[in-house]
């Protein structure tokens, strides 16, 4: 039986966990609070507490025997919290860990004026937050080189899925249709993230870097309009970007404009996306009752 340990049992990581547990895998990992740990243990996940500020007391025992490890906790100003507090615990399992996946973001590439980029494009982040991601990627690659543990980097697009999608936003009245001419984003359904990670586990390549994104980067206002069409309601009015009130983080997000290629996950890992564009993803979510 394979065992997966995940630092950061969030939305994407739990989707992967449940997928693998259905196949007989043992899964353990970290959450920030005892309450969340108790809830996940009731599901059969070996959850322990690690808040990133200090070493998790129960992490070494929960990590023991893991042959696959995923890291989905973002770095802080002091660096990557897993490497800061649990580097030695991971290194102890050198030779046993056959795959370590670091979940990063397409944000490391920065702004390319809407041009296409791929994994060979040199990262050029536009925010301190994504600059920390670039540094964390480097630190994880170096950790893999020093220990011999195969480390792979996954640069993930904007995530959507059950409960977190344009349908839910339109239905709740939270959706806004911001328009910045020429602006496009890639997205990725959470089920496809799990599929890519599972495919990589079958074909690990130390040092591999993969863009995890859909086939069709699209303007964000088009996604909201399509969700409204599915729900049979009027879309929210268009708001020019320059007139919108946005948080500094949201404004930084819109400052990066690029189209990301995903050829490598298909050619190297044999992945066929279940939801290669936002329309198919939203169609499936609508059929499952999202937004109603």
Q: pLDDT (tens digit, 9 = 90+) per residue, 170-229?
A: 999 999 999 999 999 999 999 999 999 999 999 999 999 999 999 999 999 999 999 999
Q: pLDDT (tens digit, 9 = 90+) per residue, 48-85?
A: 999 999 999 999 999 999 999 999 999 999 999 999 99
Are 115 and 196 members of one domain? Answer: yes
Tokens linked to 29:
């990992």
CATH of the domain at 19: 3.40.50.720
What pLDDT does residue 250 have? Answer: 83
Q: Whole-structure pTM over 0.95, yes or no?
A: yes
Q: pLDDT (tens digit, 9 = 90+) per residue, 255-268?
A: 999 999 999 999 99
The mean predicted confidence, pLDDT, of the chain is 97
In DSSP terms, 159 is beta-bridged to: 188
Are 202 and 223 members of one domain? Answer: no
Among 186, 183, 166, 156, which residue's Cα sits nearest to residue 16?
Answer: 156
In a domain, 266, yes or no: no
In a domain, 269, yes or no: no
In a domain, 271, yes or no: no
Are 94 and 177 members of one domain? Answer: no
Using only the alpha carbons of the chain, give its radius of gyration. Answer: 19
- Cα–Cα distances (Å) from 197 to 208, 219, 225, 240, in that order, read 12, 27, 31, 37
- Domain carrying residue 133: 3-159+189-212
Are 205 and 99 members of one domain? Answer: yes
In a domain, 101, yes or no: yes
205: left (phi over 0), alpha (psi -120 to 50) or beta: beta
Are 174 and 87 members of one domain? Answer: no
Number of domains in the chain: 2
Are 179 and 134 members of one domain? Answer: no
In a domain, 270, yes or no: no
In a domain, 265, yes or no: no
What pLDDT does residue 130 have? Answer: 96
In a domain, 264, yes or no: no
């Amino acid at each position: 039986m394979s065992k997966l340990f995940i630092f950061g049992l969030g939305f994407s990581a739990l989707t992967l966990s449940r997928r693998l547990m259905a196949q007989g895998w043992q899964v353990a990992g970290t959450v920030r609070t005892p309450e969340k740990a108790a809830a996940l243990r009731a599901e059969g996940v070996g959850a322990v507490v690690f808040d990133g500020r200090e070493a998790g007391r129960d992490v070494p025992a929960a990590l023991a025997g893991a042959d696959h490890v995923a890291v989905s906790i973002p770095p802080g100003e002091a660096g990557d919290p897993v490497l800061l507090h649990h580097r030695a615990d991971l290194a102890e399992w050198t030779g046993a860990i056959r795959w370590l996946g670091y979940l990063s973001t397409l944000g490391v590439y920065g702004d390319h004026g809407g041009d296409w980029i791929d994994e060979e494009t040199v990262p050029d982040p536009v925010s301190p937050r994504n600059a920390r991601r670039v540094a964390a990627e480097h630190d994880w690659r170096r950790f893999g080189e020093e220990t011999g543990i195969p480390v792979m980097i996954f640069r993930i697009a904007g995530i959507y899925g059950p409960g977190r999608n344009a349908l839910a936003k339109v239905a709740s009245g939270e959706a806004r249709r911001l328009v910045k001419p020429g602006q496009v984003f890639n997205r990725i359904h959470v089920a496809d993230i799990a599929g890519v990670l599972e495919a990589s586990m079958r074909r690990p390549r130390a040092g591999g870097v993969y863009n995890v994104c859909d086939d069709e980067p699209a303007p964000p206002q088009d996604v909201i309009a399509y969700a409204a069409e599915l729900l049979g309601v009027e879309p929210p009015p268009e708001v020019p970007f320059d007139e919108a009130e946005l948080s500094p983080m949201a404004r930084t997000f819109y400052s990066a404009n690029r189209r990301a290629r995903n050829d490598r996950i298909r050619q190297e890992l044999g992945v066929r996306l279940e939801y290669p564009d936002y329309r198919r993803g939203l169609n499936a979510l609508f059929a499952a009752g999202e937004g109603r």
